[in-house]
Amino acid sequence: VKNPAFETKRASASSALSGIFDAERGTLLPRAFVDPAIYALELERIFSRSWLFICHEGHIPKPGDFFTTYMAQDPVIAVRQKDGGVKVLLNMCRHRGMRICRSDQGNTKAFTCSYHGWAYDLSGKLVSVPYEKEVCGPGFSKSAWSVRAVPRVENYRGMIFACWNEEVPPLAEYLGDFKLWLDVVLDRRPAHATAIGGMYKWVIPCNWKLAAEQFASDMLHADTTHLSALVSSRSADIPPEWPPAAMKSGQVPSAGGHGTGFFTYPDGIKSFHDGSGIQGRWADLERFRKSRAAHNPLLDRVMIQHLTLFPNFSVVTQIDSFRVWHPRGPGEIEVWAFTVLDADASPEERNRHRLANIRAFSPAGTFEQDDGENWVEVQRTFAGTEACKTPLALQFGLGRTDWVGDPTLPGSSPHCMNESAARSFYGRWLEMLSTEGSSKTRVAHG
Ligand code: FES
Ligand SMILES: [Fe+2]
């Protein structure tokens, strides 16, 4: 059944897209951040057709463990099954639409709706309806009214992702070469990384792309935006001449829309500074660095600032803060942030890590507040009639024919301050928005 209101939005969105982003010229119209028609299209064509982060497997280790979150604006429950598998269920009762689970996380044998008492088992099957014998006719079958399960659920190194679209490529293919960069945080020591502490949740009145694109590409803002936080948290392990003149850097654009930027260390661990010392997270920093460089040689060479997995999952790699930018309309996001740590870390290291995250990247964190202030201000400006049709420049690195990427670092382009990953982020965004079709349409990812 077509929703006429939505069809109107779709028609107006298609025209709204014309000229909105030009990858060749590196221009973007701010309407991308404020137009409700574009937002409606994003929900349908991007968020329903992308692998979205759900939770870390450490959030639901045992059968019956559940964790409630969102896939864009759809509430979902990740639940560990009796056989050890994970299902992701739409958190919506089939009777009148109440959420069947209203807790953040916990352990249960069943989900009982708090409205009229329908109960579902861990797999989402409807198992109990009050007054069933008295009021249900022969045409009613409980088996027809399970809650919907998200058809695709996969795990990459402990990170659980789900996708509504049955036709998208498997998660590994969706990540593509970008796995290399994700492994800088997820595969750095033999002990598995595990989620620690709680989930920070807060709201920022800004469009989700301001956060996601910045984490994919904007390595430049740190020197200016975070200057006071950098100075005040500067720890003894940062050499005074940092960054050294010999240090090289790069950025990683990706056809899949993912992106990151990095510095490289010509002499490996000797000039190694990756921010691990910021806020004193490690009791024995040297041991930590050596063990991870021995495990994943890339870690002896690169320091990533931050990264985004398209569309809305980002990591501040230097402090292991993982976050989802849940969209809440064109002008609002709900940020959900948590941290992971090597499973063999000592209780003291866990506590240091937890506190460092609170200080730097929680809602009250010194760095976090800097970023949020920019996004709120920018979003407010884009509300202006003239402002929202005034092109923005995303041009760093365009036309630099003298640049040669490092062949040992696949997909990279030189200099981490360039904006190639921002252009590939919006390129992917526009490609998906422009691809019509049913939910069965296969959308290529790279
Ligand atoms: S809405 Fe859930 S039982 Fe009625
Ligand atoms: Fe920042």
Is the preceding omega at residue 243 within 30 degrees of 0, hence cis? yes
Q: What is the CA radius of gyration of the chain?
A: 23
* Interacting residues of 343 by C-beta distance below 8 A, sequence separation 6+: 191, 192, 193, 194
64-68, 172-176, 188-192, 220-224 — which is least confidently predicted? 188-192
Mean pLDDT of the region 307-311: 97
Mutate to test the pocket of ligand 1, among 90, 92, 93 (most ligand atoms within 8 A of CB): 93
Q: Please report the atom of ligand 1 found closest to the CA of residue 98.
A: 1
Q: Is the CB of 51 under 6 A from ligand 1?
A: no
Q: Is the CB of 272 under 6 A from ligand 1?
A: no
- Kindly give the interhelix angle for 366-382 and 208-217, rounded to the nearest 10 degrees: 120
- Atom 3, ligand 1: residue with shortest CA distance: 116
Mean pLDDT of the region 173-189: 88
- Answer yes or no: is pLDDT of 236 > 80: no
- Residue 149 pairs in a beta bridge with 89
| Strand stretches in 221-371, DSSP E | 248-253, 259-264, 302-309, 313-316, 321-327, 333-342
Q: Is the CB of 117 under 6 A from ligand 1?
A: yes
Q: Is the CB of 96 under 6 A from ligand 1?
A: yes
Closest ligand to residue 361's CA: 2
Strand order in the sheet with 313-316: 193-204, 333-342, 321-327, 313-316, 302-309, 259-264, 248-253, 413-414
Q: How far apart are the first and last CA of the chain?
A: 33
Distance of alpha carbon 283 from alpha carbon 306, whole angstroms: 23
* Interacting residues of 1 by C-beta distance below 8 A, sequence separation 6+: none
- Which one-letter DSSP state was computed for residue 149? B
Cα 95 to ligand 1 centre (Å): 5
For 7-44, write each residue's pLDDT tens digit.
556 666 677 798 999 999 999 999 999 999 999 999 99
Cα 361 to ligand 2 centre (Å): 9
Cα 249 to ligand 2 centre (Å): 18
Q: What percent of the chain clears pLDDT 90, i.e. is strictly above it? A: 60
For 391-415, write each residue's pLDDT tens digit.
999 999 999 888 777 777 878 888 8
Cα 53 to ligand 1 centre (Å): 28
For 73-120, write each residue's pLDDT tens digit.
999 999 999 999 999 999 999 999 999 999 999 999 999 999 999 999
Distance of alpha carbon 85 from alpha carbon 322, whole angstroms: 23
Instruction: Give the H/E segment covering residue 153.
Output: strand 152-156
- Atom 4, ligand 1: residue with shortest CA distance: 116
* Interacting residues of 83 by C-beta distance below 8 A, sequence separation 6+: none
Distance of alpha carbon 304 from alpha carbon 307, whole angstroms: 8
Distance of alpha carbon 202 from alpha carbon 111, whole angstroms: 26
- Atom 1, ligand 1: residue with shortest CA distance: 96
Q: Please report the atom of ligand 1 found closest to the CA of residue 113.
A: 2
Could you tell me how far CA 394 lies from the centroid of its own chain?
22
Q: Is the CB of 443 under 6 A from ligand 1?
A: no
Q: What percent of the chain clears pLDDT 70, i.e. is strictly above it? A: 86
Distance of alpha carbon 327 from alpha carbon 387, whole angstroms: 22
Task: Please give the structure tokens belonging to residue 8.
Answer: 């109107």
For 241-279, write each residue's pLDDT tens digit.
656 566 678 899 999 999 999 888 766 555 445 454 455
Cα 131 to ligand 1 centre (Å): 13
Q: Is the CB of 98 under 6 A from ligand 1?
A: yes
The model's pTM: 0.92
| Strand stretches in 180-317, DSSP E | 193-204, 248-253, 259-264, 302-309, 313-316
- Ligand 2 (ion): which residues have CB within 5 A? 371
Cα 147 to ligand 1 centre (Å): 11
Cα 318 to ligand 2 centre (Å): 12
